[in-house]
Amino acid sequence: MALLALRADTVEAMTGLHWGILATGGIAHAFTSDLRTAGLDIAAVGSRRLDSARDFAEQYGIPNAHGSYEELVADPDVDMVYIATPHPGHVDNALLALDHGKHVLVEKPLTLNATEAAMIRDRAAAKGLVAMEAMWTRYLPHMVRIREILAAGTLGEVRVVSADHTQKLPSDPSHRLNDLALGGGALLDLGIYPISFAIDVLGLPERVTALARLSDAESDAEVATIFTHAGGAVSTTVSSSRGAGANAAQIVGTEARIEIDRVWYTPTSFRVVSPDGDVLEDFVSEVEGRGMQYQALAAERFAAGDGATNDVLSIDESVAIMGVLDEVRRQIGVVYPGER
């Protein structure tokens, strides 16, 4: 058995780019804290309320606080904007930033649907700017190592991928997580993680089957998917906002399997196990902070134009994943206001 522990708190070379944080909710706090962990430069924060922006700026030592998103994206000291608003605001906020010449890292899901996602992709291309979905899990050290193992053929032919994302979240119908007007439901908040993971490993599905149980607010409380991928490989995902499960994942190949520990979509450990049960590799992550800094470091490299290309999660793939989520919603009967 090989034990591989990766100490992953070193900071990559600085690019000189300056971040702007658009919105000041919980995810913005988590991301900004990890930017500080990585020593990255934060030039400004913007909120619809100036007092909220000022409080946020004071907490994280950010020099400029703006009382509107328009002021933030117009700030000449900002090079890249992190979009941290609820899902329905992503497309307008991203387009606003792109139109002001700013690169964007948009919190997952990229948008509500594939049509909106394509608008961001096309506007970024027209402006010569970087647009990237903040699917931070893909950039974590254990996921980087897993892709190396897959590329080396250690598992043989991959036949099955399974993953779940289940949490006990507030059931109040008016809560953001349940309100259809805010893109609420298990799929976009939770299900996107295992679905993106399955696509990362096996590619886009050739066939999509989905079932769900809807809440009283008509949002999806539980969603299960079965995808068939190229070569006949199968992936399964389960997502729920009504109960906390194991939140583990596995990749099963003909020669070995990968067992990813709880919580698989955060910095964690995994094992490569042979068919007879021998542990071939034991990987342990040691990451400072939550681990959201890795996606930020990647975004900076792409925006700095050092020749790096995003083969971890291209904007085209993000658009395609939104198309898969659209098909899941079609099958389970979830429609957001404005789509009717």
pLDDT in tens, 260-291: 999 999 999 999 999 999 999 999 999 999 99
Average pLDDT score over residue span 91-118 = 98
Q: Where are the alpha helices (DSSP H) in 63-140?
A: 69-74, 90-99, 114-127
* pLDDT > 90 fraction of the chain, expressed in percent and rounded: 90
DSSP string, 33-56: HHHHHTT-EEEEEE-SSHHHHHHH
pLDDT of residue 206: 98
pLDDT of residue 306: 65
Q: Phi/psi zone of residue 336: left (φ > 0), alpha (ψ -120 to 50 degrees), beta? A: beta
Model confidence at 9: pLDDT above 80: no
Model confidence at 44: pLDDT above 50: yes
Can you count the helices (H) and strands (E) in the chain? 10, 15
Q: Hey, what amino acid is at 90? A: H
With bands split at pLDDT 50, 70 and 90, how would you rate the model's confidence at 339?
Answer: confident
pLDDT of residue 174: 86
Model confidence at 307: pLDDT above 70: no
83 contacts 90 by C-beta, under 8 angstroms:
yes
10 contacts 270 by C-beta, under 8 angstroms:
no
Structure tokens at 11: 């900071």
pLDDT of residue 16: 85
Sheet holding 279-286, edge to edge: 2-7, 279-286, 269-273, 257-260, 249-253, 158-166, 234-240, 220-228, 207-214
Mean pLDDT of the chain: 94
- d(CA 236, CA 238) in angstroms, rounded, equals 7
74 contacts 62 by C-beta, under 8 angstroms:
no
Model confidence at 2: pLDDT above 90: no
Q: Hey, what amino acid is at 289? A: G
Q: Which CATH superfamily is domain 12-136 in?
A: NAD(P)-binding Rossmann-like Domain (3.40.50.720)
pLDDT of residue 169: 93
Model confidence at 109: pLDDT above 50: yes
Strand partners, 284: 5, 269
- Tell me the C-alpha to C-alpha distance, in Å, between residue 70 and each of 46, 67, 104: 8, 9, 14
Q: Domain 141-286: give its CATH architecture.
A: 2-Layer Sandwich (3.30)
Lowest mean pLDDT among 9-18, 106-115, 177-186, 232-241: 9-18
pLDDT of residue 261: 97
Strand partners, 260: 249, 270
CB-based burial, 152-189: b 16+ in 10 Å, e otherwise: eebbeebbbbbbbbbbebeeeeeebbbbbebbbbbbbb
- d(CA 74, CA 97) in angstroms, rounded, equals 8
Average pLDDT score over residue span 321-333 = 98
End-to-end CA separation in angstroms for the chain: 55
pLDDT of residue 237: 98
With bands split at pLDDT 50, 70 and 90, how would you rate the model's confidence at 11?
Answer: very low
Tens of pLDDT, residues 196-233: 999 999 999 999 999 999 998 899 999 999 999 999 99
- d(CA 241, CA 190) in angstroms, rounded, equals 8
pTM: 0.94
Report which of residues 12 and 100 the model is more confident about.
100
With bands split at pLDDT 50, 70 and 90, how would you rate the model's confidence at 329?
Answer: very high
- d(CA 335, CA 340) in angstroms, rounded, equals 7
Each domain of the chain, given as residue ranges in start order, spans: 12-136, 141-286
